[in-house]
Homo-oligomer: A and B are copies of this chain.
Amino acid sequence: MKITAQSVWSDVLAIRHQAPLVHNITNYVAMNTTANALLAIGASPVMAHALEEVSDMVGIAKALVINIGTLSEKWIQSMQKAMLQAQSCNVPIVLDPVGAGATPYRTETAMQLLSVAPVAIIRGNASEIMAIVQKGSKTKGVDSLSGSESAVDVAQELSRGSGSVVCITGETDIIVSHSIIAKVKNGHAMMPRVTGLGCTASALCGAFLGVNTSAFAAAVHAMVVMGIAGELAAVQAKGPGSMQLHFLDMLYALTESDIATRIRLTS
């Protein structure tokens, strides 16, 4: 699939028209923010984590977003159950391995969740993705990755191993599907100063997966929209408080022209 400003815009319109239900099992910090971002772009967010209902909720959803930001045992059980149900219903899954590498519990949980069911998109920052890759490749030590291997290499290694589209966000977002690569240079330096924008990026991947069968296109489209909304927000923002507000307003007000004039995408 060819990714262009037009393909991004086409999916934004599809989200606004279809309002895909995105089922999130996510962290306490970002729940409100991600629900608002999904509403702003035009999707329908639902947050549900009880073991008793996750299967039913996945059954009516267009995408499932799993985020381990404030994980605990009960929640992991629900994530697993939801992922299995998503697999059997062909509901695409996004995994956000928040904090993988920071504690063994997070790294191992991220690894374990990847083994439960196929994941359409794994989105994290470079250190999170690297922690998963290092943990997965038993024969390689930490050092072996710190040298010549770039974020692209790491993303490709994880994509090959998992079969997932891997999206590493940072100053440049890298989206990899096996050997295909896209780089999105949209975004603004103030974005990391707003909590939960990484989680929002993952949630938006869910929204785009809800209207596009290509996980690679969905991830790239989501990153372009994130980045451009962030740039437009930064024009008006005086700090991270107003940044957060304008970001939501911009997700809501985004136009075809905003995307066409601002998209910075390379392969």
| Interface set of A (CB-CB < 8 Å, partner B) | 27-33, 35-36, 39-40, 45-53, 56-57, 60, 69-74, 99, 102-106, 192-196, 237-242, 244-253
Bound CA span A56–B101, Å? 11
Output the nearest chain B residue to A38 by Cβ-Cβ distance: B195
> Which single member of B29, B47, B48, B104 contacts A103 (CB below 8 Å)?
B48
12 example contacts (A-B, Cβ-Cβ < 8 A) are as follows: A29-B31, A29-B35, A31-B70, A32-B195, A45-B195, A47-B70, A48-B70, A49-B72, A53-B71, A57-B102, A241-B249, A242-B245
Bound CA span A186–B44, Å? 24
> Which single member of B29, B104, B105 contacts A32 (CB below 8 Å)?
B29
* A239-B244 contact, Cβ under 8 Å, with A31-B28, A47-B69, A195-B35: no
Contact in complex: A40, B102 (CB < 8 Å): no
Output the nearest chain B residue to A105 by Cβ-Cβ distance: B53
Cβ contacts under 8 Å, A40 to chain B = 193, 239-241
Bound CA span A31–B253, Å? 27
Contact in complex: B71, A32 (CB < 8 Å): no
Contact in complex: B249, A242 (CB < 8 Å): yes
Bound CA span A31–B48, Å? 15
Contact in complex: B239, A249 (CB < 8 Å): yes
Contact in complex: B47, A27 (CB < 8 Å): yes
Q: Counting chain B CB atoms within 10 Å of each CB, which of A99, A106, A240, A246 scores highest?
A: A240
